[in-house]
Amino acid sequence: MLCLENITKRFADGQRMLTVLDGLSLHVEEGEFIAVIGESGAGKTTLLNILGTLIPADEGSFLIRGEEVKDMSAERLCQVRNREIGIVYQDHRLLPQFTVWQNILLPTLAAKKASTDEEQQRALELLDFMGVAALKDSYVTQLSGGEQARVAICRALINRPAILLADEPTGQLDAANALTIASLFRQVNTQLHTTVIMVTHSSHMAKAAQKVYRLANGKLQC
Amino acid sequence: MLKQSRRYYRRFYRLVSFAVILMTAVLTGSLLLGDSVRDTLVRRVGERLGATETVITSGTGFMSDAVMQQPLLKDAEGYLLMDGFVSVGDKLLPVYVWGTDTDSLSPGEILINAPLNSQLSPNSSTRQLVNSSTIIIHLPSHNLVPSGSLFVTRSYATQMRVSVAGVKSVEEGGNLLLKNEQTLPLNVFVNRQYLAEEMGLEGKINLILSGRIIPEEEFAAVWTPEMSGIHQTDSSLTSDAIFISRDIVDKFANSSTIYFSYLANQLVYFRLCRMSASEAEANSSTVNYPFITAVSAWQGEALEGRDMILSDYAARRLHVSEGDSVVMDYYVARDLKNLDTRAQSFRVKRIVPLSSFMHDSLLTADFPGLSHVERCTDWDSDLPINMERVTKEDEAFWYAYRQTPKALVSYQAVSGDWSNAYGSATALRFSSRPDVSLSPRDAGVQLVYPRARGLQGAHGGVDFAGLFLALGFFIILAAVLLMKNTLEEMFTLRQAEISLYRQLGFSEGTVRRSLFREAFIVMLQASPWGVVAALLYSSLTLWLLGNVWSGATHTEGFALSVHLHTLFFGWAAGALICALVLWRVLWRRSRGHVATSSRRGSNGYIFAGLLFLTLLLTVVNFISLHSMALFVVCGLLWILTWGQFLRLYVQRRQSGEIHRIRLVWSSVRASLGQHLLAYWTLSLGVFAVFAVGLNRPDFTREREATGTYQLYVDSRVPIQYDLNNPLVRQKLSLESLPDTTRFLAFMRHTQDEASCLNLNQVATPTVLGVDLKEMEPFGLRDSSLFTLHPSLFIDEESLTWSLKKSVGDTLYYQNGRGESVPVVIAGTYPTGIFHGNAIMPAEQFRRLWPKESGVEVLLVKSSDPDEAAEVLSTVMGEYGLSVQTTEERLRMFFEVTETYLVIFLTLGGLGLLLGIFSLIIIVRKNLAVQDVVIRQYRAMGFSEELICQLLLRENLIVPLYAVCAGATGALISISANVRGAGYATLLFATLALAVLTASLVVGIRIIVKQYIINTETT
C-alpha cells in the first residue's frame, strides 16, 4: 500500500545540510499497524510528514497504492491527503473556534461546500465509537486532553482514510488516557481495517502495534 | 526585565508609540490651534484699534474740529472718516478713507495700508509701492445737510485724484478698523483738511479716537451744541444740518416757537365755489413754488388749525383778502423720495407786509441747490419742479427776496407731512433763555469703547480647538484603535508568557500591573514626541488655513501661540487616554471571553427595535421633515442597526449543517470583539468620509436661498431713490434696464459682519430693513413676537455660530441717539444670500435709525439679468455698486463650508487610512493565531487556494459588510440632498468606494497569502 524506497531528506542547518532521513525504505501493507520509535530528533515527525505528503522527499521513491507521490499534482496531493490519509497530532490541532461537531466534519469540506447526510451520520458513529457523543456541541476548549485526542481521531477518520498517521498521539496525556487511546488505535486498525502508522518515543504505545520500527541514523530498523 | 520585554516586543511598541504620537499630536495640536486662532484674533484687535480706548462718533452728522482743543481730548485724534471705493480694473475695492492730521500729508497725498497696497499691485511685495502712484478714490458726497432729505439733490458721489506717498505699517496704525472683524481693512489715509475741502466739510470731523477711556459724563461736560453744528443762542436754535431733530424739538417744545421752512408747489385761490375744471383754471389765481414757513406762533400770536398769515405780495398776486381760503399744494416724501401731492386749505388770518418776514432770518433755511442760485430756473432739487410754471414775476421775487416765505401756515397743520427722518423743524425761537440744555446724545454723538467689545468677540469667537478636535476626531479614534489592536495583538502572542507568570505564582493583579508598567512607560516616552508633533501639526494647519484652506477663514497671518499649560493639558489628556486604553485591554484579557448566549434574546429585540426606529425615522423624514441633521442621525442608526445584526447573526450561528461559509462565521464568532471593532472602525470611517464628501448642500437650487432674485447689489453710497419708479429710472439714466427688471431694496445699519467669514463672536450683526412681506420667498415667516418689541430675524447659521444665541434672546443695539435698545431675535430664516445679516421690519428700522435713509442693498429680478447687471454697473458706477449674481454670493459663503468639508475629508481620509491600517493589524493578529489552523487545513487535504479562500472570507467578510453598512448609511444621510452632490461627485464617490473595496480585498488577500506561505516555509 505504501512503499518508500531510499528516501533521503535533508534540512539546512546554517551553512551545512543536515541529513535527517538517509536512504530510508519502508513497505506497509493494507491493514497493518506499524509503530516507529526513535529518540527525539531522530526524524520521526519528518518521516510522518513525508508519509502524510505534507513535505516531499529530496531523494527516493514514495508510492501510495502504486502511485508515485512526487509525480502527483498539487490537486491530487490534496485529494490523497483528504481521502486516503488521516493524521492525528500530538497537540491534536483541533480548531478552537469550532465545535466538536464542526471539527470532525471539517475534512469533508475540502472537496465540496457542505457535508452530506451520510458524512454526518458517519460523524455520529465515530463520536459514538470514540465515546464522546455527548460532547458533540461542545467547543474544543471545553474538553480534556483525552477527549480532544478522541475527537482528533474522529476527525482523522471521517473520510474513511485507508491510512491513519499518528504523531505522538499520547504525548500530552497521562498514562491512563494514553492506554485508552492506544486501545482505540488498535480498534481502529482491527474493526475499521485502517492501516495505522504511529510515531512515538514511548515503547508502551509501540506495543499496541503489530510491527515496531526504530528510526536511527536516518534509517529504519526492524 | 521590563526593559528586556520592551526591547523584545519593540515591533509592537513602535506601532503603539506611533499611535500615541499621532493621537497626542492631533489632540494637543487642536488645542494649540484654538489658542493660536484666539491669540491671532486678540492680536488683530490690538492692530486694528492701536491705542484706541474710546471712540467718539458724530453719528450721521459732523462735529467741529474745535472740539479737539478741549484739554480732555489733548491726547486724542480727530478724523474725518468716509467709506469710499477704488476701482481697479473691473473690481471695486471698498476702502476706508481716514482724513487725519497726524501723518504730515500734503494735500493730494495719501498713505495706504499694506493690504490695500497688495490689492492695488498684487504682484509686488507689501514693501513695494503700487506701480501707478496716482489713484482715484470715489467717495459718497457728504454734506452738512442729510442727502436723504427731500430738498437735496446732487451728484451722490465725488472723486479724488490722489498720489500714493507710502505704505502705513501695522505699527503706525495702518490697519485701523473699528468693526469687530479679523479681516484686514483696506485703508487710505489722507490730509484731513484736504479731504474736508474736497467734501465741502471744512473744519469738520466725524470721529475722535482717544487712547484713554473717557466717561460719557466727562465728555458731556466739555461738549457744546456748537461743536455738533447746532447753533443755540439765548433766542434761537438752528442747525448746520438745516433740520432739527424731533428729540430736540420735543425737548424745547414748551419754551420755543417752532419754524419749518418748506418749498410748496403752489398757493391757489379759487374765486368761485362751484365750477368745472376748465372754469377753475380760468377763475383761479396761483403763486407757483412759493417758500412757505410753518410756525407755531408769529409775533406772539399763535397759529392754530388752518391759520395762514399771508404776505402782502402773495395776497396781491392771489387777489385774496383776510378771511379768504387759500389752498396750498405741496409734495410729501414717502420712502426713497417717492412723492405724494397733498393739498390743504388755509384761512387767511392776516395779511402782513413782506418786509416783516424778511426781518426774521429764522423763517428761511439754506437748502442746498435752492438757496444760493441766481434764478429759480437754476434750482436743483429732487422735487419735480416744472420750470415752465416759473414766471417772470417769480424770478423777479427771487432776485429781490430769495427764499423769503410768501406765507406762514400753522405748524400744527403741516408738521406731520413736512417732518422727515432728520428733523421736525428748521429753527426754534426762544422767548427767554430755555432752562433745558442739550446733551451730546441729542446731537447724535455717541461714545463707544471698542477694546472690551473686540476682546470679548475675539475670546468668544469660533472655537478652533473644538472645531479641529471634531474634524480630527476620526484620526484620534483611529489612533486609539490602532493602539488598542496592537496591544491586543501583542498580549495575544504573549498568552503563554502570561500563563507562565500565573503558573509561577504571580497573582493576576501583579501580572496585569507589571504589563501595564511595561507598556505605559513606552506610551509616556512617546507622548512628548506627540507634543512636538502637535507643534508641527498646528503650524502646518495654520499655514494651510492661511493659504490652501484660506476659504474657511479668509484670513492671513495666523501665528502659532504656544502656551505651556496647553501643551501640558494636551500631553496629560493623551497620557490619560493611553492609560485607559491599556487598562481596558489588560482588564479584558484577564477576564477572557464571556459567554454571551444569555443576551441573544435581548440582542434580537435590540436589533428589531433599532431597525424599526431607523426605518420609521428615515421614512418620516423623507416624506415630511426633510431634515438633514435627522438624515445623518438615521445614517448613524443604520450603521448601529447592522452592527447589532452582525452581532446577532454571528451569535446565532451554531452547529448543525456543516457548510464552508458557516465555518467562516464560526471563525468570526470566535473573535467577535475584534471583528466588531473592525466593523465600527471601517463603517464609521466610510460613513464619515462619504457622508461628508457627498453632503454638498446646493444652496443655488434652493428657492429660499435666493428668493428667485438673480442679482445682489451692494452700494457703497446709499441710494435715495426707488429704482422701480420709471421717473427715477429716467432721472438716473436707467431707461436701458430691461422693462421686466424689478428691485427689492434694503436699508442697512452697518454693524459687525456676522457671516461665517468673521471668526469673532458677533454681538450686533448688520441689520437690513425691509417690508417683511417681501421676505416670504426667502423662507422668513412673520412672527407675533416682533409686534411687541423691536425685533429682528437672523439666518440659522449666523445665529448659532456667530452670535451663539437662540430665538427669543435679546441683542442690544445703539439707536440713532446712542441709546442701548433691546432688540429681540424673533426668528430665523434659512441661510441664503442674506447670511450674516439680520432682517428687521422697515418701520422698526426707521424708528431705531431714522437718519439712515437710503438703500444700500438691492436684489434684482430681470428677464435679462446680465444686461441689468451691465447697465447698473455702468450707469451707477459713481455709487460704487458691487453687482454679483445671487449664485456667486451663495458660492462665496459655500466656499467656507466647502473648505471645512475639505479639511474634514482630509483629516477623515487620514483617519480612514489609519482605520484600514488598524484593520490590517486585526487581520494579522487573527492570522497570527491561525498558524495551527492553516497547517491542519493542509493536513486534511485542503488545497492552498481553498485555505486562502477560507481565510480571506473570514477576514474580509466583516470589512466588506462594514463598507456596505457605512456606504448605505452615508447614502441615507445625504438622501435629503442627493441631487446636491451632483452626478460627478456621486460617480467619484462610487469609484472611490470601489477602489477602497478593491484595496481591502487585494490587501487582505496579500496578507493572507503571505501568512500561508510563511506557514509553508516554517
Give the pLDDT confidence of B753-789 residue by residue, as tens digits: 888 778 888 888 999 999 888 888 888 766 555 556 7
> Which residues, 6+ apart, have CB-to-CB distance to A113 below 8 Å?
B659, B660, B661
Q: Do B946 and A114 touch (CB under 8 A)?
A: no
The conformation of residue A139, written as its DSSP 8-state character, comes to B
What three-state secondary structure class fits B582?
Answer: helix
Q: Cβ-count burial of B357 within 10 angstroms (0-12 exposed, 13-18 middle, 19+ buried)?
A: buried
Written as one letter, the residue type at B591 is R
For chain A, the straight-line distance linking the first and the last C-alpha, in angstroms and rounded, comes to 18
Interface residue of B940, B949, B957 to substitute, partner A, most A CBs within 10 Å? B940
User: pTM, whole model, 2 decimals?
Assistant: 0.69
A residues 30-49 closer than 8 Å to B (CB): none
What's the domain count of chain A? 1
Reported confidence tier of residue B702, pLDDT bands at 50, 70, 90:
low
Interface residue of B658, B925, B945, B947 to substitute, partner A, most A CBs within 10 Å? B658
Q: pLDDT at residue B582 above 90?
A: yes
Interface residue B274 vs chain A (CB under 8 A): no
Q: pLDDT at residue B367 above 60?
A: yes
Reported confidence tier of residue B149, pLDDT bands at 50, 70, 90:
low
Which residues of chain A make contact with B939, given a CB cutoff of 8 A? Answer: 52, 54, 81, 87, 89, 93
| Of residues B670, B932, B940, nearest to A82 (C-beta) | B940
- Give the pLDDT score at B511: 81
Distance in Å, alpha carbon of B666 to nearest chain A alpha carbon? 6
Answer whether residue A80 is part of any domain: yes
Indicate the range of A64-68, B227-231, B795-799 predicted with least confidence.
Answer: B795-799
Indicate the range of B22-26, B47-51, B498-502 predicted with least confidence.
Answer: B498-502
| pLDDT tens-digit map of B802-820 | 888 888 888 999 887 777 8
Interface residue of A48, A78, A117 to substitute, partner B, most B CBs within 10 Å? A78
Indicate the range of A2-6, B298-302, B913-917 predicted with least confidence.
Answer: B913-917
Answer whether residue A5 is part of any domain: no
Reported confidence tier of residue A151, pLDDT bands at 50, 70, 90:
very high
Comparing C-alpha atoms, which of B938, B769, B927, B883 is closest to residue B837?
B769
- Give the pLDDT score at B307: 92
Q: pLDDT at residue B124 above 60?
A: no
Interface residue of A97, A105, A163, A165 to substitute, partner B, most B CBs within 10 Å? A97
Do residues B303 and B360 lie in contact, with contact meaning Cβ atoms separated by under 8 Å? no
- Give the pLDDT score at B301: 86
Interface residue B928 vs chain A (CB under 8 A): no
Written as one letter, the residue type at B302 is A
> Which residues, 6+ apart, have CB-to-CB distance to A70 below 8 Å?
A56, A57, A61, A62
Do residues B966 and B911 lie in contact, with contact meaning Cβ atoms separated by under 8 Å? no
Q: Do B658 and A102 touch (CB under 8 A)?
A: yes
Q: pLDDT at residue B127 above 50?
A: no
Q: pLDDT at residue B278 above 70?
A: no
Comparing C-alpha atoms, which of B206, B189, B267, B219 is closest to residue B73?
B219
- CB pairs A-B closer than 8 Å: 84
| pLDDT tens-digit map of B704-760 | 778 889 899 988 778 888 888 888 888 888 888 888 899 999 999 988 888 877 888
| Of residues A78, A80, A93, nearest to B942 (C-beta) | A78
| Of residues A85, A96, A109, nearest to B663 (C-beta) | A109
Spatial distance between the Cα atoms of A191 and A164, rounded to a whole number of angstroms? 13
> Which residues, 6+ apart, have CB-to-CB distance to B663 below 8 Å?
A98, A102, A106, A109, B950
Reported confidence tier of residue B595, pLDDT bands at 50, 70, 90:
very low
How distant, in Å, are the alpha carbons of B44, B135, B147, B817, B977 from that of B188?
18, 11, 24, 29, 46
Do residues B449 and B879 lie in contact, with contact meaning Cβ atoms separated by under 8 Å? no
Across residues B473-477, what is the average pLDDT? Answer: 82
Residue B768: CA count within 13 A, CB half-sphere: 26
Reported confidence tier of residue B36, pLDDT bands at 50, 70, 90:
very high
Spatial distance between the Cα atoms of B420 and B12, rounded to a whole number of angstroms? 81
Indicate the range of B7-21, B216-230, B357-371, B587-601 predicted with least confidence.
Answer: B587-601
Written as one letter, the residue type at B551 is G
- Please report, for the domain that includes residue A51, its CATH number: 3.40.50.300
| Of residues B671, B935, B941, nearest to A82 (C-beta) | B941
> Which residues, 6+ apart, have CB-to-CB distance to B918 below 8 Å?
B478, B481, B482, B485, B678, B681
Q: Do A95 and B932 touch (CB under 8 A)?
A: yes
> Which residues, 6+ apart, have CB-to-CB distance to A77 below 8 Å?
A53, A69
| pLDDT tens-digit map of A98-117 | 889 988 998 888 878 888 99
Interface residue A79 vs chain B (CB under 8 A): yes
Answer whether residue A38 is part of any domain: yes
Answer whether residue A110 is part of any domain: yes
- What ipTM does this complex have? 0.77
Q: Do A106 and B938 touch (CB under 8 A)?
A: no
Comparing C-alpha atoms, which of B754, B699, B733, B716 is closest to residue B891?
B699
Across residues B217-233, what is the average pLDDT? Answer: 90
Do residues B178 and B41 lie in contact, with contact meaning Cβ atoms separated by under 8 Å? no
Interface residue B672 vs chain A (CB under 8 A): no
- Give the number of other CB atoms < 10 A from CB of residue A71: 9
Distance in Å, alpha carbon of B21 to nearest chain A alpha carbon? 36
- Give the pLDDT score at B406: 93
| pLDDT tens-digit map of B949-1004 | 888 888 888 889 999 999 888 888 877 666 666 677 778 888 888 988 898 888 88
Answer whether residue A79 is part of any domain: yes
- What is the average pLDDT score of chain B? 83
| Of residues B655, B940, B944, nearest to A107 (C-beta) | B940
For B571, the grid coordinates are 500631553
- Give the pLDDT score at B593: 42
- Give the pLDDT score at B310: 93
Across residues B73-95, what is the average pLDDT? Answer: 85
> Which residues, 6+ apart, have CB-to-CB distance to B573 below 8 Å?
B27, B28
Give the range of the structural domain holding residue A196, as residue numbers without chain letter. Answer: 32-56+74-221
Cα B456–chain centre separation: 17
Spatial distance between the Cα atoms of A65 and A84, rounded to a whole number of angstroms? 10
Distance in Å, alpha carbon of A109 to nearest chain B alpha carbon? 6
Q: Cβ-count burial of A179 within 10 angstroms (0-12 exposed, 13-18 middle, 19+ buried)?
A: middle
Interface residue A120 vs chain B (CB under 8 A): yes
Interface residue A107 vs chain B (CB under 8 A): yes
Distance in Å, alpha carbon of A108 to nearest chain B alpha carbon? 9
b (16+ CB within 10 A) / e for B600-620: eeebeebbeebbeebeebbee
- Give the pLDDT score at B720: 81
| Of residues B666, B933, B935, nearest to A102 (C-beta) | B666
> Which residues, 6+ apart, have CB-to-CB distance to B922 below 8 Å?
B485, B489, B674, B675, B677, B678
Q: pLDDT at residue B275 above 60?
A: no
Do residues B665 and B657 lie in contact, with contact meaning Cβ atoms separated by under 8 Å? no
Across residues B690-697, what is the average pLDDT? Answer: 73
Compare B47 and B580 and report the one with higher pLDDT: B580
Closest CA in chain B for residue A82: B941
Which residues of chain A make contact with B666, given a CB cutoff of 8 A? Answer: 97-99, 102
- Give the pLDDT score at B782: 61
Across residues A166-188, what is the average pLDDT? Answer: 83
Across residues B498-511, what is the average pLDDT? Answer: 72
- Give the pLDDT score at B147: 64
Which residues of chain A make contact with B940, given a CB cutoff of 8 A? Answer: 81-82, 87, 106-107, 110, 155
Indicate the range of A121-130, B148-157, B249-258 predicted with least confidence.
Answer: B148-157
- Give the pLDDT score at B751: 86
Torsion of CA B421, B426, B431, B436, to 10 degrees: 30
Q: pLDDT at residue B660 above 50?
A: yes
Across residues B404-433, what is the average pLDDT? Answer: 89
Reported confidence tier of residue B99, pLDDT bands at 50, 70, 90:
very high
Interface residue B943 vs chain A (CB under 8 A): yes
Sign of the C-alpha dihedral computed for residues B76, B80, B83 and B85 taken in this order: negative
Indicate the range of A18-22, B174-178, B468-472 predicted with least confidence.
Answer: B468-472
Across residues B913-919, what is the average pLDDT? Answer: 78
Spatial distance between the Cα atoms of B617 and B630, rounded to a whole number of angstroms? 8
Compare B210 and B647 and report the one with higher pLDDT: B210
Closest CA in chain B for residue A49: B939
b (16+ CB within 10 A) / e for B137-155: bbbbbbbbbbbbbbbbbee
Do residues A37 and A203 lie in contact, with contact meaning Cβ atoms separated by under 8 Å? yes
Across residues B672-700, what is the average pLDDT? Answer: 77
B residues 638-667 closer than 8 Å to A (CB): 654-655, 657-663, 666-667
Reported confidence tier of residue B396, pLDDT bands at 50, 70, 90:
very high
Across residues A37-55, what is the average pLDDT? Answer: 88
- Give the pLDDT score at B153: 58
- Give the pLDDT score at B190: 93
- Give the pLDDT score at B274: 52
Q: pLDDT at residue A94 above 50?
A: yes
Do residues B976 and B626 lie in contact, with contact meaning Cβ atoms separated by under 8 Å? yes
- Give the pLDDT score at B154: 53
